[in-house]
């Protein structure tokens, strides 16, 4: 079972939306897996290009279950399927979903992706949570990939076609919290910091990724890079619902350092792992955030 809840870090009240522009983010609310209706608003089945990719699983919506804030991807052995257009044999029906909107790291922008995962590392199982170029390949960022080796892989592939990889031991019998901080590094390249259970595992720089749109894909492929033959029983891929901060989590503003509210606001945002410097015009909003009066916000913003 794969369970996931998505929330944005800092959003803008509807009343401010006309005067501020979105940063490089797209909101997927925490309700996106609550029902089939909300799922259909933000997610699609299979890959952006179809049901097949680079392994022995063919994706089908019947292998994806949604409800109660959870999504479940299941891989089931099958026979009698036609091969892929590239000639790969299909041995499984499985589940994949992708976000309907692109994710583009703009200049001075970025995203945080955080979730709790329980994934198989058995030979032949190939779950992954990844970003891939929407207009071209490369680029690619593998936020988390398991290739049947007993390890988790963190990978980046820049426009220069150079892979950067890091494999880390992974206990497949336990839940692990993964966080990926994806940021513009210098106006051209994208830096990704990969964390597992609060510990930094790798820092990678993807060449010329700034401004390139990405698809966000969560899939359960089989065999391929994970080896074959794969398992003969039904398998599931899990992610628990503490997925937070899908979106950019900073506000860049001018200084109001003399305001008496600044210490309270700064302390509150530090507690929530955000950076902020205040400006006139946004001060009332930030004050509401600091004292807990800002509740449901609807749009990522840039000032």
49 torsion bin: left (phi>0), alpha (psi -120 to 50), beta (else): alpha
Residue 166: what pLDDT? Answer: 98
Q: Has residue 48 got a pLDDT over 90?
A: yes
Q: Tokens representing 289? A: 């955030």
With bands split at pLDDT 50, 70 and 90, how would you rate the model's confidence at 237?
Answer: confident
**From CA 52, how far away is CA 86, in angstroms rounded?**
10
51 with 122, same domain: the answer is yes
277 with 204, same domain: the answer is no
With bands split at pLDDT 50, 70 and 90, how would you rate the model's confidence at 295?
Answer: very low
Q: Has residue 147 got a pLDDT over 90?
A: yes
Q: Has residue 150 got a pLDDT over 90?
A: yes
Residue 115: what pLDDT? Answer: 75
38 with 174, same domain: the answer is yes
| Residue 136 lies inside a defined structural domain of this protein | yes
The answer to whether residues 218 and 96 touch, using CB atoms and an 8 Å cutoff, is yes
| Residue 61 lies inside a defined structural domain of this protein | yes
32 with 85, same domain: the answer is yes
73 with 190, same domain: the answer is yes
What is the CATH number for 160?
Answer: 2.60.120.200
| Residue 5 lies inside a defined structural domain of this protein | no
Mean pLDDT of 126-155: 96
Which residue would you say has higher pLDDT here, 273 or 249? 273
187 with 265, same domain: the answer is no
Q: Which residues of 122-131 are buried (b: 16+ CB within 10 A; e: fewer)?
A: bbbbbbbbbb
**From CA 68, how far away is CA 71, in angstroms rounded?**
8
296 is catalytic: no
Q: How many residues does the chain have?
A: 303
Residue 13: what pLDDT? Answer: 24
| Residue 6 lies inside a defined structural domain of this protein | no
Question: In this structure, is the dihedral angle defined by the CA atoms of residues 48, 53, 54 and 55, taken in order, positive or negative?
Answer: positive
From 140, 181, 223, 250, the catalytic residue: 140
Residue 157: what pLDDT? Answer: 98
169 with 59, same domain: the answer is yes
176 with 256, same domain: the answer is no
Q: Has residue 212 got a pLDDT over 90?
A: yes
| Residue 302 lies inside a defined structural domain of this protein | no
207 with 279, same domain: the answer is no
| Residue 245 lies inside a defined structural domain of this protein | no
Which residue range(s) make up the domain with 270?
Answer: 251-290
Per-residue pLDDT of 254-275, as tens digits, reads 333 344 444 544 554 444 444 4
Mean pLDDT of 26-51: 86
What percentage of residues in the chain have a pLDDT greater than 90? 50
236 with 260, same domain: the answer is no
**Counted domains in the chain:** 2
97 with 184, same domain: the answer is yes
Q: What is the pTM of this model?
A: 0.73
Per-residue pLDDT of 83-104, as tens digits, reads 999 999 999 999 999 989 888 9
Residue 27: what pLDDT? Answer: 60
| Residue 299 lies inside a defined structural domain of this protein | no
From 101, 145, 245, 250, the catalytic residue: 145
114 with 159, same domain: the answer is yes
| Residue 2 lies inside a defined structural domain of this protein | no
The answer to whether residues 107 and 184 touch, using CB atoms and an 8 Å cutoff, is yes
Residue 233: what pLDDT? Answer: 84
245 is catalytic: no
Mean pLDDT (the chain, rounded): 75
């Amino acid at each position: 079972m794969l369970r996931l809840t998505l929330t944005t870090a800092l959003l803008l009240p509807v009343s401010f939306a006309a005067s501020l522009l979105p940063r490089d983010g797209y909101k997927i609310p925490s309700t996106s897996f609550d029902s089939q209706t909300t799922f259909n608003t933000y997610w699609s089945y299979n890959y952006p290009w179809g049901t097949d990719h680079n392994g022995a699983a063919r994706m089908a919506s019947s292998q994806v279950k949604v409800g109660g804030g959870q999504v479940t991807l299941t891989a089931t052995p099958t026979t009698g399927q036609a091969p892929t257009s590239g000639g790969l044999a299909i041995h499984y029906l499985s589940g994949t979903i992708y976000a309907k909107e692109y994710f583009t790291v703009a200049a001075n922008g970025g995203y945080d992706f955080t979730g709790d995962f329980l994934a198989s590392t058995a030979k032949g199982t190939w779950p992954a949570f990844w970003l891939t170029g929407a207009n071209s390949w490369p680029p690619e960022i593998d936020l988390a990939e398991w290739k049947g080796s007993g390890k988790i892989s963190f990978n980046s592939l820049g426009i220069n076609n150079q892979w950067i990889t890091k494999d880390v031991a992974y206990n497949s019998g336990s839940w692990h919290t993964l966080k990926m901080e994806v940021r513009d590094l210098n106006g051209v390249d994208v830096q990704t910091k990969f964390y597992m259970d609060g510990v930094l595992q790798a820092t990678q720089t993807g060449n010329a990724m700034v401004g390139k749109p990405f698809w966000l894909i969560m899939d359960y492929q089989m065999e391929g890079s994970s080896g074959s033959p794969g398992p003969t029983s039904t398998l599931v891929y899990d992610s628990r619902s503490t997925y937070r901060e899908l979106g950019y989590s900073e506000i860049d503003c001018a200084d109001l350092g003399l305001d008496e509210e600044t210490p309270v606001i700064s302390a509150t945002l530090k507690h929530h792992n955000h950076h902020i410097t205040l400006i006139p015009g946004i001060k009332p909003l930030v004050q509401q955030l600091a004292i807990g009066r800002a509740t449901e916000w609807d749009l990522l913003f840039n000032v």
